Amino acid sequence: MGSRNMPLPRGNHDSAARLEEPRPILNELGPLHVVGGLPRVNGEVDLERLIVPLRDRQDTIAAWVLAVPILRPADLPTVGQDSDPLVEGTRALYQRVIEALHARRTPDQGVIAMGHCYMVGSQLSESSERKVMGGNQHPLPHDIFGADITYAALGHLHVPQRVSGRENVRYSGAVLPLSFDAKAVHHSVVLVEIAGTQTTSIRELQGVRAERRAASTRCRLRHLAGAARSRRWPRRSTATPGGMRRPGQT
Ligand SMILES: [Mn+2]
């Protein structure tokens, strides 16, 4: 699409204040549209700041993005007592943003939802992901992103995956190995092309080369302690394909 805008909503590893502080400068200098904490005006959610137009090379608005940051329980609207307040509160908030977006868009413009969240049935990387939304006890169902969503670009989980088998609801995954169990993961990015309200192509681009790599170190503990004291580090050996050696393995 060649858009000049790049929405950047906050994940749970980011500081909302640190993202918000340079926001005016970033918005002025470049294409970044930063959303730190859930924006509010006079106590109400500032829906306008969560809606970002994507312009094509002709400078026409081709699609809109719901740039929703990681949501905390305090961000969510109150829902009926019979329903899960975190799941249905999240659904209600997305619904409000989508309704505000529909009031602005024309029927031929696509809708791309962003979210930093934990979805039902998704694959975790236990050692590198922090638990969100009540300790992962309130996974979100895929139908939070309904038929009026062209594509949902999700963050938080490090393994690239579709959600509930839907091609157009995905985690692109982390491009860096963030723990040793991520060494076996194929890091990738997802290239999505859309025309109007439909996706025309969704491709996982494999072979993303990260500069930072996981490496294993084999040595006796007393040597490691001695090296730390002398500031000399033991020789590092990169892990063999197929995983790390466990202690005692050769
Ligand atoms: Mn996260």
Q: Is 28 helix (H, G, I), strand (E, B) or coil?
A: helix
Determine the distance separating the centroid of ligand 1 and the alpha carbon of 173, expressed in angstroms. 11
pLDDT at 127: 74
Dihedral sign for Cα 203, 204, 206, 208, please. positive
220/168 Cα distance (integer angstroms): 48
Neighbouring C-alpha atoms within 13 Å toward the C-beta of 20? 10
CATH architecture of 6-205: 4-Layer Sandwich (3.60)
Q: What is the pLDDT of residues 206-217, one digit of tens each?
A: 877 666 666 777
Instruction: Tell me, in angstroms, the distance from the centre of ligand 1 to residue 24's CA.
Output: 24
Residue whose pair of structure tokens reads 């963050």 in the numeric block: 155
d(CA 188, CA 206): 5
How close is the Cα of 69 to the center of ligand 1, in Å? 10
Q: How many angstroms is it from 20 CA to the middle of ligand 1?
A: 18
Q: What is the pLDDT of residues 139-193, one digit of tens each?
A: 999 999 999 999 999 999 989 999 999 999 999 998 887 777 776 677 889 999 9
Contacts of 23 (CB under 8 A, 6+ apart): 34, 36
For the ranges 30-44, 84-98, 119-133, 143-157, the lowest mean pLDDT is seen at 119-133
C-alpha of residue 68 to centroid of ligand 1, in Å:
13
Higher per-residue pLDDT: 106 or 127: 106
Q: How many whole angstroms from 182 Cα to the centroid of ligand 1?
A: 15
Section 191-203 average pLDDT: 96
Q: Residue 154 Cα, ligand 1 centroid: separation in angstroms?
A: 10
Rounded to two decimals, the pTM is: 0.82
% helix, strand, coil for the chain, step of 5: 20, 25, 50
Contact (Cβ atoms closer than 8 angstroms) between residue 152 and residue 170: yes
CA 230 – ligand 1 centroid, Å: 37
pLDDT for the residue numbered 238: 52
Tell which phi-psi region holds residue 35, choosing left (phi > 0), alpha (psi between -120 and 50) or beta.
beta
Q: Decide: 116 and 9 in contact? Cβ < 8 Å.
A: yes
Q: What is the pLDDT of residue 164?
A: 94
Q: What's the pLDDT at 212?
A: 66
| Ligand 1: centre distance to CA 17 (Å) | 17
Stretch(es) of the chain classified as CATH 3.60.21.10: 6-205
> Nearest-CA neighbor of 63 among 27, 127, 119, 107?
107
Rg for the chain (alpha carbons), in Å?
Answer: 21
List beta partners, residue 151.
112
